[in-house]
Structure 1
Amino acid sequence: MIVDLFWIISFPLAFVIHDGEEIIVQHKWMLTHKDFLIQKYPRAKRIVTHLSCLSTKAFAMAVLEELILLLFTAAYILIGGVYAMELWIALFMAFSVHFVIHIVQGVLVRGYVPGLVTSILMLPYAYFGISRICEDVSGVKLIQLSVLGVVAMMINLRFAHWIGKKFSH
Structure 2
Amino acid sequence: MTRTLILMRHGKSGYPDGVDDHDRPLAARGQYQAGLAGEWIRTNVGAVDAVICSTALRTRETFDATAIDAPVRYEDSVYGGSPEDILEQIALTDDSVRTLMVVGHAPGTPWTALELADDAESEYASWIRTKFPTSGLAVLTTESLWADLTTGRATLIAALRAEPSGT
TM-score, normalised with respect to structure 1: 0.30
| Higher-strand-fraction structure | 2
| Higher-helix-fraction structure | 1
TM-score, normalised with respect to structure 2: 0.31
Higher relative CO (Cα under 8 Å, sequence separation at least 6) belongs to 1
Rg bigger for which structure? 1
